[in-house]
Each structure stands twice: as C-alpha cells, then as structure tokens.
Amino acid sequence: MQKNGAQQQMEGFAVPLQPYHFVMPRKIIFGWGCRHHLAEELPRWGTRVFVVCGSRTLEKQGLLDELQRLVETAGVTWQFLATISREPLVCDVDAVTRQVQAIGIRRGDLLLAVGGGSAIDLAKAVAAMATNSQGESVQDYLENVGRGLKLTQPPLPVVAIPTTAGTGTEATRNAVISSLDPPFKKSLRDDRVMPIVAVVDPEVTVSQPPSVTASSGMDAITQLVESFVSNRRKPIPQTLAPEGLRLALRWLATAYREPDHREAREAMAQAALLSGICLANAGLGMAHGIAAALGVVAGIPHGLACAMMLPAALRTNRSVVGRELAYLSRYALGKDFPSEDAAVDALIEAVEQLRADLHLPQKLREIGVSQEMIPKIAAGSFGTSMSGNPRPMSQGEIEDILRSLY
C-alpha cells in the first residue's frame, strides 16, 4: 500500500518503544447532551458530591439546577461548595478545603467540578487536600515553592464536566494553583488527582463567549503541538495529538463565529480532551513555560498567553524538531508540501491566520505587558513546562523572543 506524505515523513523519528506509563480518566463519557448520564453514573462512584462551579453565569443559565435535579433523582446528595471565575489561588484551595473538612468527610464522598480549567483544578486540589493534612496549606504540596510534601492518602474521587473546550483539565494529573504574594503559578501533581470520570458534553460549551472559545481553543492547539514535540514525548500521545490538531485547526474559527454550530463544538471538545490526555503523559514546552510567567507577572489569561507564544515557539524549535512539525502540518492541514521547511512554514502561517481570524492580539504591548516586565517574565519561565521543550533555552534567548513580540 502506498504511503502518503505525512506517513513517509513520520518514519525515522517515531519514539522508540521504551518503557513508559500512561494515565487517563477511568471513564470518558463524550457526546452532545451526555451530561444526562450523570443520573446513572454518579451512584457507581459515591453517595454525596461536593460541587465546584466555574462561574455565576452557569448558575444563572440553569445548568447547575439541571445537574442538581439529575444527581438528587439518582439518590446522591448534592453539597454545593464554591464558584470560581478566575484561576484558583492558594487561599481559594485552603478556604474550600476547610469548608469540606468542617462538613466532615464520609465514605462515598466525591467532588463534582462543572466549569473550565479553573473550576476543575480547584476541585482536584480540594479533593487532594481534604484527605491529606500533613501540611498547613496546599502550598506545602506545590512544585518548587512549598515544603515538598507528597500526598500520603488517596484524594477524594473527582468527576469533571468541562464547560470550555481548551484546557483539557478533565484528563490531566495536576492542578494549577497560583499565588499573588509571593507571585507564582505552580502545580499540585499526582496521578491520583486525575478525574475518575470525564463527562465531555459539547452542548454545554455553546454558551461560552466568543473570546473564551478563542483563547481556550488556542490553549488546546498549543498543548497538542507541544506535547507532540516535547522531549518527554511518548507513542500514545504522538498518535492522538495530530488528530486533535486537525480538528482544532479545522473547526475553531467556526465555533468562534457560530457558537451554536454543533459539529464545530463537538470537534473542539474532542480536540481539548485529546490535548489534556497528551499533555498529562508527554509534557509541554516553551510556549506554556512563558505563558505561565505572563500570567504571574502581567496577569495575562492563560489561553491568550499561549496564543501569543505559539508561533514563536514553532519558529524557535523548528531547527531541532522540524520533521515532527512537518508531519503535524501535513496531517492537520491535509496537504502535502514539497519540503519539510515548506510544511513547517505552512503550519506557522495557519496558526497565525487562525489567531487573526479569532481577533486575538498579536503583540505583547496590546495586552498590557511593559518592556520593564520582560526580564522578570523570562526569569519566571523555567518551570516544568519549559523543561519539556525540545531545545534548551536561556533566559537571554527568551528575553529576545519577548522583545521581538513587543
């Protein structure tokens, strides 16, 4: 059988089949309206749910009331905890954990997160902290900023219903937690914080504002690209990422322009889910490393920061992973190109055109980043994500990249 151009290009750089581990939710329920399966699914896992919601809008639109009726009809007790409309802070996790502990934990308890990445991350962190009390705060368990404590007790189970299509947090094994003083954005990381069930219902993403659709979709695209070329890349994510990228590049602009377009919403929900599975197992890279620092130093929303940094990351890394990027380009764009360079150029052009179609800013000065912030942003970029970048980066190089985007 004759091989297409993408298959031919893939040969010669596939990850060797060395030992690896792979984690994902125990169960994924995907499909338009699939949230209604909660009535049959939750009783299999517990008898009481502590609920974390992603925004007041979800409450006003009646989604929480609908879910509460489904849950209580199934004989499961509904215990509302909190609504969060921004990335969770250390103080948020600590406060909600105290709520849970004051109520008292019993057999059959679990967390239900309904919202974007922030709500799901908060639920995952609270699920872990509710059963682990060696530290005084979640900060004691965060990477590189706390006391280095590890979870000794299993977290409460988490069921996640994402209402955005971007972060893939419903399928990751970490919770991203921030702090304003001292400023940082770090992860609580443990395989056991992975949600046991991800209920991915594209219908609930229809009500998201176009700006959220755009930025969260660019987050998913960045995760799919970076996990594919990460220096920790693995065979299963490398199989999944190209398909997720194909879906996202094809359908994100449609979802942005036509919020109720079912096929586009389904495609983006699938792409986001795949991006979470991929990053959980293969890591990320430069774009996410700098995006985290942009969030901490300049308060830039994560998806917007990823959109800003992805083209620069593609240009920076093409010298060491050009063949991989060419394969991604051929697969995702569905075209053949006369050379590796031409294929990578086309991928960069497609990302930049999509970013323009989504009316996202092109320059750092447009989003409130000052020249004076650049050294601090560069210095703060060397976290876990940056360690996965296929090309080692220096602080000076990152400063130069940031200035070129100013």
pLDDT per residue as tens digits for the range 312-330: 999 999 999 999 999 999 9
CA 211 to chain CA mean position, Å: 17
Read off the tokens for 80: 């509302």
Residue range 187-232, pLDDT digits in tens: 999 999 999 999 999 999 999 999 999 999 999 999 999 999 999 9
Residue range 29-65, pLDDT digits in tens: 999 999 999 999 999 999 999 999 998 888 788 999 9
* pLDDT score at 16: 62
Q: Which helix (H) or strand (E) holds 187?
A: strand 183-189
Mean pLDDT of 370-379: 97
Distance CA 173, CA 21 (A): 13
* pLDDT score at 2: 42
Distance CA 382, CA 284 (A): 12
Residue range 256-274, pLDDT digits in tens: 999 999 999 999 999 999 9
Distance CA 279, CA 228 (A): 9
- In the predicted structure, residue 8 carries a pLDDT above the cut 80: no
pLDDT averaged over the chain?
94
Distance CA 390, CA 286 (A): 9
Residue 47 DSSP class? S
pTM: 0.94
Mean pLDDT of 267-284: 98
Mean pLDDT of 12-16: 54
Cis peptide before 210 (omega within 30 of 0): no
Residue range 78-137, pLDDT digits in tens: 999 999 989 999 999 999 999 999 999 999 999 999 999 999 999 999 999 999 989 999
